[in-house]
Amino acid sequence: MPDVSADHPTDASAAHASSLGAYTTLRLGGPASTLTVVSEPDEAVSTVRGAARKGQPVLVLAGGSNVVISDDGFPGTVLLLRTRGVRLIDRDDRGALVRVAAGEPWDDLVADTLERGMSGLEALSGIPGSAGATPIQNVGAYGQEVAHTIEAVHVYDRHEDEMRVLSLPECGFAYRSSIFKHSDRWLVLDVDFRLAESAESAPIRYAELARHLGVEVGERVSAARVRETVLKLRAGKGMVLDPEDPDTRSVGSFFTNPVLSAAEWARVQDRLVDAGEPPSWPAPNGTVKVPAAWLIEKAGFAKGYGGSTVAISSKHTLALTHRGGGTTTALLELAREIRDGVRDRFGVVLHPEPVLINCSL
């Protein structure tokens, strides 16, 4: 997947861009007070330090694929991260250690590692955004998440004004979360991935993917075949960016799948008399994960629901799309309507997956 800025204003003209929507997959968001493009890690750190001395807030954007920015924009410095680089650092019996610059386009990295004969990221094909954004929300899809392969994250600690290398346990990874999410303390500079040196995929963990591959869950196949299959599945759901298709103009899944306690799950089941039994999966500590898409549909919100400018994708219930001419305000109003409808129908509160910038749900 190319950097989303490819069909936006060039980075050279970034300082004159009127809208931050030019640098997000939603194409929504107002202006920044200051817009700075950096291509080296030390430039990123010096920009953040300079903003701190002036008392200005900082927003870091790379792919812009997991943010919803207010119509008022951002009242501070926006740092457009354009660092690049993929380096082989080490090899041992656990595989290859690859260090990736935070601004490296994610899907380019997935394709590159497969070409190098490395596996472990193949089920994450087609996800837009940058490598540095993936640990922030512990990006995951089709049974893989980046926490399965991340060994360390190189960061600038804004609180202590120092560089640090955070190990996997220090990153606090959880379902679509980490210590980096909803915190301005950490500026991600590089990410270390430990990948298998094999043309075979990691074990297939996701039933839908296994079914399309014609194998059982837990089996391995060609990693290249997994990538090809995942790209087709994502495209069918409008989850691969296409400048010509407004149905792909989104942040991907807008809501996370709720993880319910046994008591909460029992209460939901009590309300399912006319809705049927939902799909669900066991989660840690006796909890149950329920698909948000199923809850949204059963609460009365079908694919395509919405207006002419913002609507649920016609291909995937979890994607809220900007059809053109819309506003962040309208998108959030639609999100609130869906959230409140699910809460009223099932007693379950859905939570947004993207980071909300200068706005709230």
Active-site annotation holder among 82, 253, 313, 339: 253
Active-site annotation holder among 27, 82, 176, 339: 176
Is 87 part of the annotated catalytic residue set? no
User: How many Cα atoms sit within 13 Å of 330 on the Cβ side?
Assistant: 16
Q: Which residues pair with 288 in a beta bridge?
A: 260, 282
Are 275 and 298 in contact by the 8 Å Cβ rule? The answer is yes
Cα–Cα distance measured from residue 114 to residue 193, given in angstroms and rounded to the nearest whole number? 13
Is 18 part of the annotated catalytic residue set? no
Active-site annotation holder among 104, 122, 297, 353: 353
Is 353 part of the annotated catalytic residue set? yes
- The set of catalytic residues is 176, 253, 353
